[in-house]
Amino acid sequence: MVKGAKINISGAFGSHYINVLPQAAHYKGEEDYAVAFATPVDAEGITYICQYTPYSAERDQVDDMEELGNPLYGQRETSMVVFDNVFVPWDRVFHCGEYQYSVKFVTRFAKTHRMTCGGTCKVGFMNQIIGACKLIQEYKGLDKATHINDQLMEMVALRETCRACGMAAAQRGAEEPKGSGVYLPDELMGNVSKLNVANAFWRIMALAGDIGAGLVVTLPSLKELKNPEVKDYVNEYLGFGSDSSAENIMKVTKLLQNWTAGLHGVGTWHGAGPIMAQKIMLQRVIDYEHEKNLVRQTLNLKEEKKGKQ
Protein backbone atom coordinates (compact mmCIF):
# COMPACT_ATOMS: atom_id res chain seq x y z
CA MET A 1 0.00 0.00 0.00
CA VAL A 2 1.30 3.47 -0.87
CA LYS A 3 0.32 6.72 0.83
CA GLY A 4 1.63 10.16 -0.13
CA ALA A 5 1.54 12.80 -2.82
CA LYS A 6 3.69 14.23 -5.60
CA ILE A 7 3.15 17.76 -6.86
CA ASN A 8 3.92 19.07 -10.37
CA ILE A 9 3.39 16.01 -12.57
CA SER A 10 3.02 16.67 -16.32
CA GLY A 11 0.12 14.98 -18.07
CA ALA A 12 -0.02 11.96 -15.73
CA PHE A 13 -3.78 11.56 -15.94
CA GLY A 14 -3.47 11.26 -19.74
CA SER A 15 -1.13 8.25 -19.64
CA HIS A 16 -1.67 4.54 -18.99
CA TYR A 17 0.74 4.00 -16.12
CA ILE A 18 2.54 6.15 -13.57
CA ASN A 19 6.13 5.20 -12.74
CA VAL A 20 7.03 6.29 -9.25
CA LEU A 21 10.70 6.63 -8.30
CA PRO A 22 12.53 7.79 -5.16
CA GLN A 23 13.05 11.56 -5.31
CA ALA A 24 16.40 11.63 -3.53
CA ALA A 25 19.12 9.45 -2.06
CA HIS A 26 17.78 7.63 1.01
CA TYR A 27 19.45 6.56 4.21
CA LYS A 28 18.89 4.13 7.08
CA GLY A 29 15.57 4.92 8.71
CA GLU A 30 14.07 6.11 5.41
CA GLU A 31 13.21 2.62 4.08
CA ASP A 32 9.52 3.52 3.70
CA TYR A 33 10.42 6.22 1.15
CA ALA A 34 12.85 4.03 -0.79
CA VAL A 35 10.25 2.73 -3.24
CA ALA A 36 9.81 2.44 -6.99
CA PHE A 37 6.76 0.99 -8.69
CA ALA A 38 4.34 1.30 -11.58
CA THR A 39 0.60 1.67 -11.21
CA PRO A 40 -2.27 2.14 -13.66
CA VAL A 41 -3.32 5.80 -13.65
CA ASP A 42 -6.85 4.89 -12.54
CA ALA A 43 -5.93 2.57 -9.65
CA GLU A 44 -8.20 2.87 -6.64
CA GLY A 45 -7.04 5.56 -4.22
CA ILE A 46 -5.33 7.81 -6.81
CA THR A 47 -6.63 11.39 -7.12
CA TYR A 48 -5.41 14.11 -9.52
CA ILE A 49 -5.69 17.73 -8.41
CA CYS A 50 -5.12 19.71 -11.60
CA GLN A 51 -3.24 22.98 -12.08
CA TYR A 52 -5.29 26.14 -12.42
CA THR A 53 -3.64 29.32 -13.70
CA PRO A 54 -4.76 32.51 -15.45
CA TYR A 55 -4.12 30.56 -18.67
CA SER A 56 -6.52 27.84 -17.47
CA ALA A 57 -9.14 30.47 -16.68
CA GLU A 58 -8.67 31.96 -20.12
CA ARG A 59 -9.21 28.53 -21.69
CA ASP A 60 -12.45 28.16 -19.71
CA GLN A 61 -13.75 31.47 -21.04
CA VAL A 62 -12.39 31.66 -24.55
CA ASP A 63 -14.60 31.08 -27.59
CA ASP A 64 -11.78 31.36 -30.14
CA MET A 65 -8.77 29.04 -29.72
CA GLU A 66 -6.47 31.57 -31.38
CA GLU A 67 -6.88 33.91 -28.41
CA LEU A 68 -4.80 31.38 -26.45
CA GLY A 69 -1.65 32.29 -28.33
CA ASN A 70 -0.67 28.67 -28.95
CA PRO A 71 -3.77 27.12 -30.54
CA LEU A 72 -2.02 24.11 -32.05
CA TYR A 73 -0.10 22.92 -28.98
CA GLY A 74 -2.08 24.37 -26.08
CA GLN A 75 -0.43 24.37 -22.69
CA ARG A 76 1.30 21.82 -20.53
CA GLU A 77 -1.15 20.38 -18.02
CA THR A 78 0.17 19.27 -14.68
CA SER A 79 -1.47 17.95 -11.57
CA MET A 80 -0.75 16.99 -8.04
CA VAL A 81 -1.11 13.22 -7.68
CA VAL A 82 -2.37 11.89 -4.35
CA PHE A 83 -1.94 8.23 -3.41
CA ASP A 84 -4.35 7.32 -0.66
CA ASN A 85 -3.50 3.75 0.30
CA VAL A 86 -3.01 2.58 -3.27
CA PHE A 87 -2.43 -1.17 -3.59
CA VAL A 88 0.54 -2.10 -5.82
CA PRO A 89 0.92 -5.79 -6.70
CA TRP A 90 4.44 -7.19 -6.18
CA ASP A 91 5.04 -7.74 -9.89
CA ARG A 92 4.98 -3.95 -10.33
CA VAL A 93 7.27 -3.15 -7.41
CA PHE A 94 10.90 -2.51 -8.46
CA HIS A 95 12.41 -1.17 -5.27
CA CYS A 96 11.14 -1.54 -1.73
CA GLY A 97 13.17 -0.46 1.27
CA GLU A 98 16.64 -1.15 -0.23
CA TYR A 99 17.64 2.46 0.46
CA GLN A 100 21.28 1.88 -0.61
CA TYR A 101 20.09 1.74 -4.24
CA SER A 102 17.66 4.68 -4.24
CA VAL A 103 20.34 7.08 -5.44
CA LYS A 104 20.90 4.94 -8.56
CA PHE A 105 17.24 5.33 -9.52
CA VAL A 106 17.48 9.08 -9.00
CA THR A 107 20.70 9.65 -10.92
CA ARG A 108 19.81 7.37 -13.83
CA PHE A 109 16.41 8.96 -14.22
CA ALA A 110 17.72 12.50 -13.68
CA LYS A 111 20.49 12.45 -16.26
CA THR A 112 18.15 11.02 -18.89
CA HIS A 113 15.35 13.44 -18.09
CA ARG A 114 17.76 16.40 -17.98
CA MET A 115 19.19 15.51 -21.39
CA THR A 116 15.73 15.24 -22.98
CA CYS A 117 12.96 17.08 -21.14
CA GLY A 118 15.01 19.57 -19.13
CA GLY A 119 17.47 20.07 -21.97
CA THR A 120 16.77 19.46 -25.63
CA CYS A 121 12.97 19.68 -25.56
CA LYS A 122 13.43 23.41 -24.92
CA VAL A 123 15.21 23.64 -28.29
CA GLY A 124 11.74 23.13 -29.77
CA PHE A 125 10.34 25.94 -27.60
CA MET A 126 13.19 28.15 -28.77
CA ASN A 127 12.44 27.34 -32.42
CA GLN A 128 8.94 28.73 -31.93
CA ILE A 129 10.19 31.86 -30.17
CA ILE A 130 12.93 32.54 -32.72
CA GLY A 131 10.51 31.99 -35.63
CA ALA A 132 8.00 34.39 -34.08
CA CYS A 133 10.69 37.06 -33.54
CA LYS A 134 11.95 36.77 -37.10
CA LEU A 135 8.40 37.08 -38.48
CA ILE A 136 7.67 40.12 -36.30
CA GLN A 137 10.88 41.74 -37.51
CA GLU A 138 9.86 41.17 -41.13
CA TYR A 139 6.20 42.11 -40.62
CA LYS A 140 7.25 45.42 -39.10
CA GLY A 141 9.78 46.10 -41.86
CA LEU A 142 12.74 46.00 -39.46
CA ASP A 143 14.89 43.61 -41.49
CA LYS A 144 17.77 46.03 -41.57
CA ALA A 145 17.77 46.85 -37.86
CA THR A 146 21.23 45.54 -37.02
CA HIS A 147 20.58 45.20 -33.29
CA ILE A 148 17.57 42.95 -33.97
CA ASN A 149 19.64 40.81 -36.31
CA ASP A 150 22.24 40.64 -33.56
CA GLN A 151 19.61 39.61 -30.99
CA LEU A 152 18.29 36.90 -33.32
CA MET A 153 21.83 35.63 -33.82
CA GLU A 154 22.31 35.47 -30.05
CA MET A 155 19.10 33.46 -29.75
CA VAL A 156 20.25 31.02 -32.40
CA ALA A 157 23.66 30.64 -30.72
CA LEU A 158 21.96 29.93 -27.38
CA ARG A 159 19.59 27.43 -28.98
CA GLU A 160 22.44 25.61 -30.70
CA THR A 161 24.40 25.42 -27.45
CA CYS A 162 21.35 23.81 -25.84
CA ARG A 163 21.03 21.36 -28.72
CA ALA A 164 24.76 20.59 -28.57
CA CYS A 165 24.69 19.77 -24.85
CA GLY A 166 21.85 17.29 -25.34
CA MET A 167 23.61 15.67 -28.28
CA ALA A 168 26.86 15.45 -26.35
CA ALA A 169 25.05 13.83 -23.40
CA ALA A 170 23.67 11.18 -25.76
CA GLN A 171 26.86 10.67 -27.75
CA ARG A 172 28.98 10.30 -24.62
CA GLY A 173 26.44 7.91 -23.10
CA ALA A 174 27.51 4.45 -21.99
CA GLU A 175 26.06 1.03 -21.29
CA GLU A 176 24.92 0.96 -17.69
CA PRO A 177 25.25 -1.50 -16.03
CA LYS A 178 27.84 -3.12 -18.33
CA GLY A 179 26.36 -5.98 -20.34
CA SER A 180 22.75 -4.88 -19.73
CA GLY A 181 22.22 -3.56 -23.26
CA VAL A 182 20.83 -0.37 -21.71
CA TYR A 183 22.60 2.85 -22.67
CA LEU A 184 22.26 5.97 -20.55
CA PRO A 185 23.45 9.54 -21.15
CA ASP A 186 26.65 10.96 -19.76
CA GLU A 187 26.11 12.19 -16.19
CA LEU A 188 28.11 15.41 -16.57
CA MET A 189 26.63 16.45 -19.92
CA GLY A 190 23.09 15.40 -18.98
CA ASN A 191 23.15 17.75 -16.01
CA VAL A 192 25.02 20.50 -17.87
CA SER A 193 22.33 20.26 -20.55
CA LYS A 194 19.58 21.24 -18.10
CA LEU A 195 21.69 23.88 -16.32
CA ASN A 196 22.52 25.52 -19.63
CA VAL A 197 18.89 25.54 -20.77
CA ALA A 198 17.68 27.02 -17.47
CA ASN A 199 19.84 30.11 -18.02
CA ALA A 200 19.57 30.31 -21.82
CA PHE A 201 15.78 30.23 -21.76
CA TRP A 202 15.48 33.35 -19.55
CA ARG A 203 17.84 35.18 -21.88
CA ILE A 204 15.86 34.11 -24.96
CA MET A 205 12.65 35.25 -23.27
CA ALA A 206 14.23 38.65 -22.56
CA LEU A 207 15.42 39.04 -26.16
CA ALA A 208 12.01 38.00 -27.50
CA GLY A 209 10.34 40.53 -25.20
CA ASP A 210 12.57 43.24 -26.63
CA ILE A 211 11.89 42.32 -30.26
CA GLY A 212 8.15 41.64 -29.69
CA ALA A 213 7.76 44.96 -27.88
CA GLY A 214 5.34 46.09 -25.19
CA LEU A 215 2.52 44.73 -27.30
CA VAL A 216 3.56 41.25 -26.09
CA VAL A 217 1.81 42.11 -22.82
CA THR A 218 -0.65 44.83 -23.95
CA LEU A 219 -2.19 43.20 -27.00
CA PRO A 220 -5.95 43.64 -27.54
CA SER A 221 -8.19 40.66 -28.31
CA LEU A 222 -8.25 39.26 -31.84
CA LYS A 223 -12.01 39.87 -31.62
CA GLU A 224 -11.31 43.58 -32.13
CA LEU A 225 -10.45 42.76 -35.75
CA LYS A 226 -14.15 42.06 -36.22
CA ASN A 227 -15.54 44.73 -33.90
CA PRO A 228 -17.17 47.34 -36.20
CA GLU A 229 -16.41 50.12 -33.70
CA VAL A 230 -12.63 49.62 -33.64
CA LYS A 231 -11.57 47.24 -36.43
CA ASP A 232 -10.37 50.01 -38.74
CA TYR A 233 -8.18 51.48 -35.99
CA VAL A 234 -6.79 48.06 -35.11
CA ASN A 235 -6.04 47.22 -38.74
CA GLU A 236 -4.41 50.58 -39.32
CA TYR A 237 -2.33 50.98 -36.17
CA LEU A 238 -1.45 47.37 -35.45
CA GLY A 239 -0.49 46.88 -39.08
CA PHE A 240 2.45 49.24 -38.34
CA GLY A 241 2.20 50.80 -41.78
CA SER A 242 3.68 47.65 -43.30
CA ASP A 243 2.34 45.39 -46.02
CA SER A 244 1.60 42.72 -43.44
CA SER A 245 -1.83 42.38 -41.94
CA ALA A 246 -2.57 43.45 -38.40
CA GLU A 247 -4.05 39.98 -37.94
CA ASN A 248 -0.71 38.26 -38.60
CA ILE A 249 1.17 40.68 -36.38
CA MET A 250 -1.35 40.15 -33.58
CA LYS A 251 -1.32 36.36 -33.88
CA VAL A 252 2.46 36.13 -33.83
CA THR A 253 2.64 38.60 -30.94
CA LYS A 254 0.11 36.45 -29.05
CA LEU A 255 2.33 33.42 -29.59
CA LEU A 256 5.22 35.39 -28.09
CA GLN A 257 2.96 36.33 -25.17
CA ASN A 258 2.29 32.66 -24.57
CA TRP A 259 5.99 31.78 -24.57
CA THR A 260 7.45 34.74 -22.73
CA ALA A 261 4.79 36.19 -20.42
CA GLY A 262 3.21 33.03 -19.08
CA LEU A 263 4.16 29.73 -17.51
CA HIS A 264 7.27 28.76 -19.46
CA GLY A 265 10.01 30.66 -17.61
CA VAL A 266 9.52 29.08 -14.21
CA GLY A 267 8.39 25.83 -15.84
CA THR A 268 11.69 25.57 -17.71
CA TRP A 269 13.69 26.56 -14.65
CA HIS A 270 12.17 23.97 -12.31
CA GLY A 271 11.18 21.19 -14.74
CA ALA A 272 13.65 18.28 -14.31
CA GLY A 273 14.72 19.73 -10.98
CA PRO A 274 15.83 23.10 -9.60
CA ILE A 275 19.35 24.10 -10.60
CA MET A 276 20.79 23.21 -7.20
CA ALA A 277 19.85 19.58 -7.93
CA GLN A 278 21.97 19.65 -11.10
CA LYS A 279 24.83 21.29 -9.24
CA ILE A 280 24.74 18.61 -6.55
CA MET A 281 24.97 15.93 -9.25
CA LEU A 282 27.83 17.78 -10.92
CA GLN A 283 29.73 18.04 -7.64
CA ARG A 284 29.57 14.25 -7.43
CA VAL A 285 31.17 13.66 -10.84
CA ILE A 286 33.67 16.51 -11.16
CA ASP A 287 37.01 15.97 -9.43
CA TYR A 288 39.13 18.72 -11.06
CA GLU A 289 42.19 16.39 -11.14
CA HIS A 290 42.61 16.77 -14.89
CA GLU A 291 42.57 20.57 -14.67
CA LYS A 292 44.85 20.68 -11.62
CA ASN A 293 47.35 18.40 -13.35
CA LEU A 294 47.38 20.65 -16.40
CA VAL A 295 48.42 23.59 -14.22
CA ARG A 296 50.96 21.47 -12.33
CA GLN A 297 52.55 20.47 -15.66
CA THR A 298 52.37 23.97 -17.13
CA LEU A 299 54.14 25.49 -14.14
CA ASN A 300 56.25 22.46 -13.24
CA LEU A 301 54.94 22.76 -9.68
CA LYS A 302 56.65 20.97 -6.81
CA GLU A 303 54.83 18.00 -5.31
CA GLU A 304 52.26 19.33 -2.84
CA LYS A 305 52.16 18.30 0.78
CA LYS A 306 49.33 15.92 1.69
CA GLY A 307 46.23 17.66 3.01
CA LYS A 308 46.95 20.86 1.11
CA GLN A 309 46.14 19.60 -2.37
Ligand X SMILES: Cc1cc2nc3c(=O)[nH]c(=O)nc-3n(C[C@H](O)[C@H](O)[C@H](O)COP(=O)(O)OP(=O)(O)OC[C@H]3O[C@@H](n4cnc5c(N)ncnc54)[C@H](O)[C@@H]3O)c2cc1C
* Site of interaction with ligand X (CB under 6 A): 8-10, 76, 78, 267, 270-274, 276
Closest CA to 65 of 260, 223, 248: 223
- Specify the residue, 166 or 239, whose C-beta has the smaller distance to ligand X: 166
- Specify the residue, 76 or 226, whose C-beta has the smaller distance to ligand X: 76
- Shortest CB 80 distance to ligand X, Å: 11
- Shortest CB 147 distance to ligand X, Å: 32
Q: Interhelix angle for 146-171 vs 187-212, to 10°?
A: 160
- Shortest CB 207 distance to ligand X, Å: 22
Q: Interhelix angle for 102-115 vs 146-171, to 10°?
A: 140
Q: Are 86 and 43 in contact (CB under 8 A)?
A: yes
- Specify the residue, 43 or 156, whose C-beta has the smaller distance to ligand X: 43
- Shortest CB 259 distance to ligand X, Å: 14
- Shortest CB 179 distance to ligand X, Å: 29
**CB contact set of 131 (below 8 Å; sequence gap of 6+):** none
Amino acid symbol at 46: I
- Specify the residue, 212 or 273, whose C-beta has the smaller distance to ligand X: 273
Q: Are 217 and 257 in contact (CB under 8 A)?
A: yes
Q: Around 219, how many Cα atoms within 13 Å sit in the side-chain half-sphere?
A: 30
- Specify the residue, 119 or 273, whose C-beta has the smaller distance to ligand X: 273
- Shortest CB 113 distance to ligand X, Å: 8
| Residue 96 host element (H or E) | strand 93-96
- Specify the residue, 185 or 273, whose C-beta has the smaller distance to ligand X: 273
Bridge partners (DSSP) listed for residue 46:
83
Integer Cα distance of 240 and 135 in angstroms? 14
